Amino acid sequence: MALRQDHQLLSELREFFTLTCALFSEVSLRGLRLANRVVVSPMCQYSSDDGCANDWHLMHLGQYSMGAGGLVITEATHVSPEGRISPKCLGLYSDENEATLKRVIDFCKHYGVTAMGTQLGHAGRKASTQPPLDGGDSLSAEQGAWKTVAPSALAYDAGWHLPTELDRAGLDKVKADFVAATRRAERIGFDLIELHAAHGYLLHQFCSPLSNRRSDEYGGSLENRMRFPLEIFEAARRVWPEDKPMGARITGQDWVVGGWELEDAVTFARALKDLGCDFVDVTSGGLDPRQEISVGPGYQVPFAERVRREAGIHTWAVGMITEAMQAERIIAGGQADMVALARGMMRDPRWAWHAAEALGAETPWSDMYVRASPRSRGKFTPRQSAKA
């Protein structure tokens, strides 16, 4: 009798979560409708050749497009050769880059059930380095180092390249590179763009007083330091289709005294929203090697919660989000509108399938794998579309 009652209780709980599960509720950003609130976060793979995608990217992104979340975003995709973190980083600055990445995205869209986004970025003073598995240090001349650029001529750390401070011509080139990459992303067929303004890369370097010591209209006050990233966003938004969403990954805190703080992130998010930004993805750190970060499960969620509450913008939470119930609490509790996972996805490329089952919810499965769905009972069922 007790066992039967336990089964009945479990059934009732599953029915309750099916009706109320926040994590697996639909969400819309402009003309894009997503089947759930789970994002496969950008993950640098350091496997490209002159910025070009290859079979690794076909496998890497293809596996996630089968249903790891409602949205999959490519790794940081750089807008110029000099903007790459390393020689092995993905780019979108040439016709060949565009063609090879289109092959991958076409595959994901044909066989998968997710929306596909890209993250466009420029590494600034953190460019021209070895891939992490090779040490991650600045490249030597013999290793093919290139000249780096930044808001100010300040190296990231001892032993790193001294960047060239961007002058007017340099600023104009960076902006044109972002616009050109945005146009390429449209031709490829991406559903969404996220501009990378965090993790110590170029747009973050402009925002933080630790890396921006300029004395012109792009330095000094918070308003001035945000100016160039906002100009980049505005220029890219102008050439991106009106019905497609564009957002930004921003930092909540530098974790260094005297650096960027959460109050600044709120102000930045408000300014982005005024320019037509549809979402912000709030992370932290990466700008200065002196950072002292307190890492733990969901440690960056409070950043997203405050930005969402005070800036009134659609917000994603990131950082050590690994469990289904943890993610459900974040969304149901109003701390964020979506959650973005990276390491959890590496461990389990079917994360959304397993999370939905644990919460008694439903999520799209690819046609080829739908027979494994808990609700299919071994029969073929029509695909549930992940997007409009």
Domains and CATH numbers, the chain: 33-128+141-372 (3.20.20.70)
The C-alpha atoms of residue 90 and residue 50 are separated, in whole angstroms, by: 8
pLDDT of residue 375: 76
Residue among 278, 290, 266, 291 at smallest CA distance from 241:
278
Is residue 178 exposed (0-12), middle (13-18) or buried (19+ Cβ within 10 Å)?
buried
Tokens representing 74 are 């490519």
CA distances from 213 to 204, 209, 224 (A): 13, 7, 11
pLDDT of residue 1: 46
Q: Which of 64, 93, 201, 218 is catalytic?
A: 201
Residue among 246, 231, 254, 333 at smallest CA distance from 281:
246
CB half-sphere exposure, 207, CA atoms < 13 A: 36
pLDDT of residue 2: 47
DSSP string, 177-227: HHHHHHHHHHHHT-SEEEEEE-TTSHHHHHH-TTT----STTSSSHHHHHH
- In the predicted model, residues of the chain with pLDDT beneath 50 are 1-4, 6-7, 9-11, 16-18, 381, 384-388
pLDDT of residue 20: 75
pLDDT of residue 379: 52
- Please indicate whether residue 218 is annotated as part of the active site: no
Tokens representing 138 are 């600045």
The secondary element (H helix, E strand) that includes residue 55 is helix 55-65
